[in-house]
């Protein structure tokens, strides 16, 4: 969070892109997203990605063709986490929007506390299905095993649930279901420890 906040504050361009330190991009990634952003008047554009394992790539092919979502559609898809992904990485953001929202310090899964605020300021959210990002997979990462750190994700979903209740009440049932599914999943993980 601190590194992302520092980089965001220092950035001077019209757009910002977050790349995690152990991941990498296709050579034309930024240009592809930028061109789509300009052509379609989007505030955020998300690219496709690979899960990059040591010996193979797994393509997330959730969407088959480019797509543009209006704000309410994008918020609903964020809750579903099928088309609109919760990750901060892999997306080109209009910088004036992200500069208004810092990542919470000292939290794991900080994207969960942040992403819904960005979409709330987005009129057009674009999706380019071409895989442009390589998301390195490690067995030792915080998303690969369960620990007390995982509760930060649950707290982030709780904050999002309250935000949805106030600002997008038509989606409260879907968000509550997502929240309770994560609660149940974590109980199951904890029981296996």
Q: Calculate the average pLDDT of the chain.
A: 93
Token duo for residue 67:
């797509």
User: Do the Cβ atoms of 145 and 64 come closer than 8 Å?
Assistant: no
pLDDT band with cut points at 50, 70 and 90 for residue 188: confident
**Cα 187–Cα 192–Cα 193 angle in degrees, nearest 5:** 100
Distance CA(32)–CA(131), nearest Å, equals: 11
Distance CA(107)–CA(171), nearest Å, equals: 25
Over residues 65-94, mean pLDDT? 96
Rounded to two decimals, the pTM is 0.92
Token duo for residue 132:
């442009």
Token duo for residue 100:
């208004």
Q: Which residue has the higher pLDDT, 51 or 149?
A: 51
Distance CA(115)–CA(112), nearest Å, equals: 6
Count how many Cα atoms sit within 13 Å of the Cα of residue 162 in the half-sphere of its side chain.
6
Residue range 119-175, pLDDT digits in tens: 999 999 999 999 999 999 986 554 456 678 888 999 999 999 999 999 999 999 999
Distance CA(14)–CA(122), nearest Å, equals: 15
Q: What percent of the chain has pLDDT over 70?
A: 95
- State the DSSP code for 139: T
Residue range 93-103, pLDDT digits in tens: 999 999 999 99
């Amino acid at each position: 969070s601190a590194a992302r906040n520092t980089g965001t504050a220092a950035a001077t361009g019209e757009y910002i892109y977050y790349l995690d330190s152990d991941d990498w991009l296709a050579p034309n990634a930024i240009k592809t997203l930028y061109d789509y952003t300009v052509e379609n008047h989007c505030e955020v554009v998300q690219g496709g990605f690979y899960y990059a394992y040591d010996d193979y790539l797994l393509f997330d092919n959730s969407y088959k063709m480019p797509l543009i979502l209006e704000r309410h559609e994008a918020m609903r898809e964020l809750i579903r986490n099928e088309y609109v992904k919760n990750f901060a990485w892999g997306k080109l953001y209009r910088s004036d929007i992200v500069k208004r929202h810092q990542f919470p310090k000292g939290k794991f899964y900080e994207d969960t506390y942040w992403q819904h605020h960005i979409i709330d300021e987005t009129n057009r959210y674009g999706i380019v299905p071409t895989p442009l990002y390589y998301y390195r997979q490690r067995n030792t990462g915080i998303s690969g095993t369960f620990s007390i750190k995982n509760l930060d994700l649950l707290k982030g979903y709780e904050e999002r649930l309250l935000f949805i209740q106030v600002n997008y009440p038509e989606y409260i049932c879907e968000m509550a279901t997502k929240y309770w599914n994560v609660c149940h999943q974590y109980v199951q993980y904890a029981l296996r420890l």
